[in-house]
Chains A and B, each alone.
Chain A
Amino acid sequence: MSLFDLLLGIPLLSGVVMALINRSPIAARLNIAAGFLTFVVALALAFQVLEQGSILAHEQAFFLDPYNVFLVSLTAFVAATTAIFSRTYMLHEEEIGRVTASNLRLYHAMFQLFIFGMLLALTTNNLGVLWIALELATLATVLLVSLYRTPAAISAAWKYFILCGVGIALALFGTILIFSTSSETLGHGNDALTWTLLYKNAENLTPQVITIAFVFLMVGYGTKVGLVPMHAWLPDAHGEGPTPISAVLSGLLLNVALYALVRCKTLVDGATHGDLAGKLMMGFGMLSLVVASMALHRQRDIKRMYSFSSIEHMGLMTFSFGIGTPLANFAALLHMTVHSLVKSGIFFTVGHAAQGMKTQNMIGIRGLIRLQPGIGWGLLLGTIAIAGFPPFGVFASEFLLMTAALQSYPWTICLLLPSLVVAFAGLFRHVQPMVFGVPPEEVRAVRVNMLPVYIHLGLALVLGLAIPGFLADWYHNAADLLHRGAQ
């Protein structure tokens, strides 16, 4: 039994066990325990990769390199802290009768299955299995989005299912096209879909086929990343599901989809020696940034507003990976980390705020600081962090990103900077009345657990002030790895 088996085994096994536990308090505790165990294993694996370099497991079915091991630890960490938040949050939802015990059983089992799907997608060495795992992660969350059974929740879940289903079907078409050319050189079998072998043999793939395949992969995985114009499902799914699910969807699943896209881009760069893939990603990224930053202003639901902010940041990362220089990759990876941390932290706060105020509508949320200072300050600090203020990490990564853009494509700054300002204005316009002012009379404080929020914001602060040396090396390694694939 190696460490690696544990990484995938713990979430899968605990998912099965939790499908059998009917008592939600026990299941919630078990959820936390499983989350932390997975995180410890992920950390151990990360140090192993840091010392020894990339590892292959089970012959070459799984692999860990500097790029994905970093995302594995991030995923495991956010999943663990979300489990802490989820315990307080979901038990309160059960008390007020929004969910039943059997719904919660489904919820806990699917939560772990979802984590399993993401970890499988990140660690597999097989392009086809990556697709299966991403689809599995979608399927696991579909029924969670409709958990509250309200008309809005059901229509959101249906939209999520259909749009992501079609999107990811297109990605499968792209995968089949890649297989049709790679099987000529690598033989008709798993080898022809293995990343590590594909990268080595990128020269022998037919460039025309790979180019067409990438268009499909871009649209397919781009739908899951939430890029405009394939983003219609995202605000609904993030807005209507239970808040812990919004946190992991925004903070983790989008990252995993982007990971898949970037892996494909590196392969295409190697095969075609052109920059078509990068240009496509830059275009989609820029469009998402511009559209989402403006859409932020028009939202009424607090969770929908922050999910548009997620689209904006995913657009920024996609753009940055599209530039593809080591600096741009570094910035995108850093941005991925801080966005995950801050955005999931914000969703935790928003969840508590909505429970306290008994509404998700921003007009009904007033005077959070006076009602419950913990929530109010958490929301304010989180929003400051996500809007890109120093000293938080988002500032550092956005600054690096601007530098990278100035080096390669200076004119893009004319769009990037105004969009960030517009997004910032949109966020503050809505957040200020929510945190300051007088709370409505009929509301009262709820039991909250702000620990995960402060941990996330604290980490984002550390990343903004001084990135620890080993972590910086790690980002450098990963950024170079992605860039070298392009050579």
Chain B
Amino acid sequence: MISAELLKQLLSLAAALFLLTAFALLAQRHMHALLRWFAVQGVLLAATTALVAYAANVHELYISAFLALVLKGLLVPWLLWRIVIRLGAHREVESLVNIFATMLIGAALVLFAYYVSLPIQELSFVVTRNIIAIALACVLIGMLIMITRRKAITQVVGFLALENALFFTATAATYGMPLVVEIGVAFDVLIAALIFGVFFFQIRSTFDSLDLKHLEVER
């Protein structure tokens, strides 16, 4: 067992790193780098979960840590990469995004998240206001990624990063949701990823491109 003070500091460190990966995703234009950072985020999520499981002695959490590692750290990024290669989109670059401006907006979102979390009292010794605020910031940054990107795949990565942030919140703020819920949510995310895959092919075969600007159909 590790002491509560150490756990608190380690969790804060993990939260800070998690925020860093969110910003890294926000700053990427290249598909390959984007997916690599996404995988790093998944592994970080798994590591945090395992840490909480060990420190709080909650055995169920080892299962979610394992699921996070397999699904989010390996399977989903690998699957996305395979699809990207099969669609020949691996060299595509998001050229229209103004990285500097989005980073600034991202920073503003972090401030906003802290502002929103102000009324929350320190819930317990481990769960600090910081963690809720950072988790919320990562959720908002995930949405920002989705808003600013024009390609279907980068939008999906934003969506999955958002989902990662939710899992991070669940682990760091509550020692994980009950096992039924964790597994159910992981299952839903997996199905969603598969449906995204189906969609890439449908979009590609209908519009000859994965650029979402074609989806603006006149009605």
Contact = CB atoms under 8 A, between A and B. Distances in A.
A and B part of one assembly: yes
Interface of A: 126, 128-129, 131-132, 135-136, 139, 142-143, 146, 149-152, 154-155, 157-159, 161-162, 165-166, 169-170, 172-173, 176-177, 179-181, 183-184, 188-190, 192-193, 206, 208-209, 211-212, 236, 239, 300-301, 304
Contacts of A209: 120, 123
Given A128-B184, A132-B181, A183-B175, 7 more contacts: A126-B178, A154-B199, A154-B203, A176-B174, A180-B123, A180-B127, A188-B58
Contacts of B170: 176, 179
B155 interface: yes
A143 B198 contact: yes
B9 interface: no
Nearest to A178: B174
A189 B127 CA distance: 17
B181 A193 contact: yes
Contacts, number: 135
A157 B195 CA distance: 11
A131 B185 contact: yes
A209 B139 CA distance: 17
Given A165-B192, A169-B139, A206-B121, A180 B174 contact: yes
Q: Which 9 A-B pairs have the closest CB atoms?
A: A128-B181, A155-B215, A132-B184, A208-B119, A180-B174, A190-B178, A135-B188, A152-B217, A180-B173
B159 A165 contact: yes
B136 interface: yes
B98 interface: no
Most buried by A among B152, B178, B187, B192: B178
B121 to A, nearest CB: 7
A144 B185 CA distance: 22
Contacts of B58: 188
B177 A179 contact: yes
Contacts of A179: 170, 174, 177
B195 A143 contact: yes
Main secondary structure of the interface of B (DSSP, over half): helix
A183 B56 CA distance: 14
Interface in B104-125: 116-117, 119-121, 123-124
A167 to B, nearest CB: 11
Contacts of A184: 123-124
A155 B216 contact: yes
A135 B163 CA distance: 13
Given A152-B217, A300-B219, A139 B195 contact: yes
B162 interface: yes
A208 B166 CA distance: 20
B92 to A, nearest CB: 18
B176 to A, nearest CB: 8
A135 B169 CA distance: 19
A183 B174 contact: yes
A173 B136 contact: yes
A51 B117 CA distance: 46
B114 to A, nearest CB: 13
Contacts of B180: 126, 128-129, 190
Contacts of B219: 152, 236, 239, 300-301, 304
A147 to B, nearest CB: 11
5 contacts: A157-B199, A172-B185, A184-B123, A188-B58, A211-B119
B15 interface: no
B121 A169 contact: no
B19 interface: no
